[in-house]
Amino acid sequence: LQPGRPYSLVTLLCVTFVLMTKAQYENYNFRNFSGEDLMPLTAAYGKALDYYAAGNWTESIQYLELSLRLHRLLKDSVRHCASHCNSSKHDDESFAGYPDLRVYWNVMMKATCQKKCRALFPAFQLPPPGRKILEDFSRRSPYRYLHFAHSQLNDLQRAVPCAHTFLQRNPEDQQMQQLMEEYKSKYDLSGYLIDHEERPYEVRSAHSGVQELEEALWLYFQEYDLCQAECEGITQLLADRDFYAVIAVNDGRSAVPCAHSYFLFEPEDPVMKQNLLYYKAYSQQWGLQSNHFTPRMEAFKHYNQTIMQKKMLAFAETYFGLSEEVSFIQKQLILWPHKSLDCLKC
């Protein structure tokens, strides 16, 4: 091999099968999950790590991929019931003149709906995974193990996408970053930098058009609502405020509400402070009115929802003695203005 010259992984490995990497979700079917594969996530993941420690790479890969499918099955089952119960009508005209009772009624009806719905899905009949395992999947740790196992079998076609998927959640991992740079210097990775866990709203970039970014923002809030309903702590979202930083291009009337939305989440951001002063100075030239200098409605709703959740957690800690659980959730909420907006982990 000539140093510095990129070689295609296909050429290098002399493979004869399909070029694209086979994702572990290729045979995944939420509605018709194989009964033979159905087992507690804790057991599947435990077997995967036992085989990994013993150097049984093929078996470890088999159970790591099964663990990822079981994790997705749990998440999809939760989301299905949440979506179904949130879209169902629970109002009762008997409580029309009693707003407090109407709220309690809706909460009880949604809880009843969730209980009935979850009874229909096999994922909920299994012992639930512990917090540590859910944190491993949130950090995408299984992909680190998959990368190494595939590497030991000289299967770089599958190892590279696993490394890439892991790095999307762990960009600070220097060891994996160095390995990826080595891959890039030796091989042509076109078509192999695949994020197996990519969400629809993450596909858009800052270079996308305004309309595409608006769609991404809508997808984000839809994702967030589902995540809140899950209350399982198994989905992590990117920082929502970043959408507002890039969503308006050369459109002052759209840019100002976006800037104020960002400022709502990051009130100490020096760049955004300067931007707002700039918009104020040129407000007459751009035809800006006082109503333009307010955050967007969905940003207000999102912000107020999070503030209310923090108050509810404080109330629960004070009056119900849920100190350990509340402390865990508060740690997640504290992180969101600076790093990422995690879902509540109940």
DSSP states of 272-288: HHHHHHHHHHTHHHHT-
Burial class (CB in 10 A: 0-12, 13-18, 19+), 1: exposed
120 shares a domain with 235: no
281 and 177 belong to one structural domain? no
46 and 161 part of one domain? yes
Question: Is 327 found in the same domain as 297?
Answer: yes
Greater confidence, 278 or 215? 278
Structural domain contains residue 47? yes
Q: What is the mean pLDDT of the chain?
A: 73
Check residue 306 and give its pLDDT. Answer: 75
Read off the pLDDT of residues 254-306 as tens digits, 9 standing for 90 and up: 777 878 887 777 888 888 888 888 878 878 777 778 877 888 887 777 787 77
pLDDT at position 56: 97
Does 107 have pLDDT greater than 80? no
The residues, any chain, with a CB within 8 Å of residue 90's CB and separated by 6 or more, are 105, 106, 109, 110, 113
What per-residue confidence (pLDDT) applies to 34? Answer: 83
Q: Which of 150-164, 186-200, 280-294 has the lowest mean pLDDT?
A: 280-294
Residue with tokens 């940003």: 299
d(CA 105, CA 92): 8
Q: What is the CA radius of gyration of the chain?
A: 24
pLDDT at position 11:
41
- Among the listed residues 33, 321, 250, 13, the one whose alpha carbon sits nearest the alpha carbon of residue 153: 13
Asked if residue 201 is part of any domain, the answer here is: no
The answer on 261 and 227 residing in a single domain is yes
Question: Whole-angstrom Cα distance, residue 6 to residue 24?
Answer: 27
Joined together, the tokens standing for residue 167 give 């790095």
Establish if 285 belongs to a structural domain: yes
Same domain flag for 184 and 213: no
The pLDDT score that the predictor gives to residue 24 is 65
Among 158, 188, 218, identify where a domain stops.
188
Model confidence at 203: pLDDT above 60: no
Say how far apart CA 260 and CA 319 lie, in whole Å.
36
Whether residue 212 sits in one domain with residue 181: no
Looking at the chain, the whole-number percentage of residues with pLDDT higher than 70 is 63
Residue 248 confidence class, pLDDT cut points 50, 70, 90:
very low
Which one of 128, 155, 188 terminates a domain? 188
- My answer on whether 102 and 239 are in the same domain is no
Of the candidates 21, 25, 119, the residue with the CA atom closest to the CA atom of residue 72: 25
* 40 vs 252, higher pLDDT: 40
Q: Are residues 237 and 132 in the same domain?
A: no
Pair 66, 51: CB distance under 8 Å: no
pLDDT interval class at 98 (50, 70, 90): low
Q: Which domain holds residue 300?
A: 208-335
Judge whether residue 246 has pLDDT over 50: no
Domain tally for the chain? 2
Tens digits of residue pLDDT in 67-88: 999 998 988 888 888 888 877 7
Q: Are residues 18 and 146 in the same domain?
A: yes
Classify burial at 74, counting beta carbons within 10 Å of its beta carbon; exposed 0-12, middle 13-18, buried 19 or more: buried
Is 19 inside any structural domain?
yes
C-alpha–C-alpha distance, residues 57 and 45, integer Å: 14
* Most confident of the following: 23-32, 109-118, 170-179, 288-297: 170-179
Please check the confidence at residue 7 and state whether its pLDDT lies above 50: no
Query: pLDDT for 321-339, tens place per residue?
Result: 555 544 444 444 443 333 3
Q: Which amino acid is at 213?
A: L
Report pLDDT for 225: 61
Tell whether 263 is covered by a domain.
yes
Amino acid at 45: Y
Burial (Cβ within 10 Å: 0-12, 13-18, ≥19) of residue 129:
buried
Stated as kind and residue range, the H or E segment containing 173 is none
49 compared with 294, residue with greater pLDDT: 49
Listed residues 188, 220, 250: the one ending a domain: 188
**How far is Cα 35 from Cα 24, in angstroms, rounded to an integer?**
17
Max CA separation in the chain (angstroms): 80
pLDDT above 90 for 181: yes
Does one domain contain both 223 and 282? yes
Q: Are residues 114 and 23 in the same domain?
A: yes
- Provide the CB-side half-sphere exposure for 75 (13 A, CA): 20
The band of 165, judged by pLDDT with boundaries at 50, 70 and 90, is: very high
Encoded tokens for 158:
């599958």
For residue 195, tell me if it sits in a domain: no
With cut-offs at 50, 70 and 90, classify the pLDDT of residue 217.
Answer: low
* Predicted model pTM: 0.58
Note whether residue 227 is domain-resident.
yes
DSSP letter, residue 297: H
With respect to residue 343, please indicate whether it lies within any of the assigned structural domains: no
